[in-house]
Structure 1
């Protein structure tokens, strides 16, 4: 493999026309320049420069390698510029995974402003498939619901939002006119399910009901918020829905009430790579995400920076 440094020395000799001039330009002694050229000739087994009068001139092989050295230096300069731009957040790609509610409510408020701040950064949005477990490359940021901030090594969980659940009741329900509802008062109601059985969000509902002294009697399986609220509007039961999710669900035929004693709440985090934490584009994205959260629900922000 050819030594890149020696190629650069050869290029200087060829373009300046002399050992002395190359030494002056590169800050070497003429002897060191001659040694580099001699070593490169031994590596290639080819004469690269030859004496011409009182000076030297490159051979055809010397001119060929000097041309490639010029291209190599250009590529190195391009790489250094690209790396500097990447560090400054001026270029590259930012991959963000998200859960459905965050995608529907928060990200549309972020992507346009982010694009204006970082026009050369390609923002890739992907639906999340759960916490990274080592079987796939983690995204630069994953917006997800977690129980706490414990994540696999190499990742950091940044709190974004404490999202309380609201009770969704049929408009004609006896409690519809209340300002809030204690969770225990819904113990004898038929319930409409709105989460997959294995989800943390469903666990939050079940555990809150358990703390209030009952297990919800699910008479309808909805497994998404819009369907569940439609069933509630039809009078089939009651349900709990995170406040953020209710931004995407029609409210016709239902009322929404704050829940107390206890107040079920899910915690939303941005999980980022430790190595990428502090990158300008990622930092700006998270700042815009917090602003979007404040725009939607000012009091729900987790209020902590990572």
Structure 2
């Protein structure tokens, strides 16, 4: 019985997104397509693969078995393609990398030009932004990307993790903002200003939330956006305070458009970025070279 086809992909997306409509939006298809494909798979197998739990749709025990087999088969197929590429010493092809929006400038300046000289015929597919429903390290685990750069602590035995220092988390404000002249700023003082937050799934936003929570302060954002670059532009406009490292806002800080003010809190004193790939995944020569070059990012 051949059930590990594209229908299982639709099942995986529903499981990851928590519902048919969300999965359809992520796949950019009509919800009826998702429903029809999963029903076809259920009819072939003779078992229910999904069940409703409150507002969410979850896989049944049979559905989880199908997903485990599907993901295992996809990993084996991916590893086979990578191995064949190594045997042929393939100099063309594609490397897919997830780069958090706060790391994009460093990646472009420190990595892309170097890799392009070594592998001029390899296409680098760079994905950035805040991902829904999966975070970058989860995309690595599902072999959706070869390598990812993430922010904040990552502990997972299924991942190879190389961490590097990013410096203190700062409050970013325009040069005419009331906080602009401060050498540092307390969490209590920040809570009195208009704040610019990222989505809750963002590693940097989770850190900001932890800082306010442990400081006993309630933080209600005035604005929320899904890209670091947009939050920096909003801060430049003087409408609120954004949060990231000085390195992530290097261009605006160097140009005098923003001031990066260290936050007075132990959690903000030192932050880290992470370079991650899946344990056991054989990278192509180009992806392996990209990994080694990216280890020099900061």
TM-score category of the 2 structures, normalised to the smaller one: 0.5 to 0.7
Residue 153 of structure 2 corresponds to 147
Question: Take 1:261 and 1:255, find their aligned partners in 2: how far apart are those partners?
Answer: 18
Match of 1:124 in 2: 125
2:223 to 220, 243, 247: 220
2:203 to 187, 190, 200: 200
Which residue of structure 2 lines up, in the alignment, with residue 259 of structure 1? Answer: 263
On the 8 A contact 1:94/1:123 being kept in 2, the answer is yes
Aligned to 1:73: none
**SS of 1:240 mapped into structure 2:** strand
1:169 corresponds to: 173
* Structure 2 CA distance for aligned equivalents of residues 186 and 85 of structure 1: 56
Gaps of 5+ in 2: 1-82
Kindly indicate whether the alpha-carbon contact (under 8 Å) linking 1:192 and 1:222 is maintained by their aligned counterparts in 2: no
The CA distance in 2 between the partners of 1:192 and 1:241, in whole Å, is 12
Distance across 2 between alignment mates of 1:133 and 1:139: 6
Paired with 1:238 and 1:82, the residues of 2 have a C-alpha distance of 48
Shift of 1:252: 5.4
Deviations 1:276-297 (A, max 9, x none): 467654443233223342xxxx
The correspondence of residues 1-306 of structure 1 with structure 2, limited to 5 A, is 83-86=86-89, 90=91, 93-119=94-120, 121-127=122-128, 129=131, 130=135, 131-132=137-138, 136-150=142-156, 153=158, 155-187=159-191, 189-247=192-250, 249=252, 254-264=258-268, 266-276=271-281, 280-293=285-298
Equivalenced residue count is 209
1:222 to partner: Cα distance: 4.2
* RMSD between aligned residues: 3.5
TM-score under structure 1 normalisation? Answer: 0.55
Task: Show the counterpart of 2:48.
Answer: none
Distance 1:143 1:212, change over 3 A: same
- Confirm or deny: 8 A CA contact 1:168 1:240 kept in the other structure: yes
Distance 1:109 1:184, change over 3 A: same
- Whole-Å separation in 2 of the counterparts to 1:142 and 1:148: 12
- TM-score, L = length of structure 2: 0.56
Deviation at 1:243, TM superposition (A): 2.7
Shift of 1:226: 4.4
Q: Distance in 1 between matches of 2:289 and 2:152?
A: 22
SS of residue matched to 2:201: coil
| CA pair 122-275 structure 1, distance change in 2 beyond 3 A | farther
Contact conserved, 1:196 with 1:202, CA < 8 A, in 2?
Answer: yes
Query: How far apart are residue 246 of structure 1 and its match?
Result: 0.8
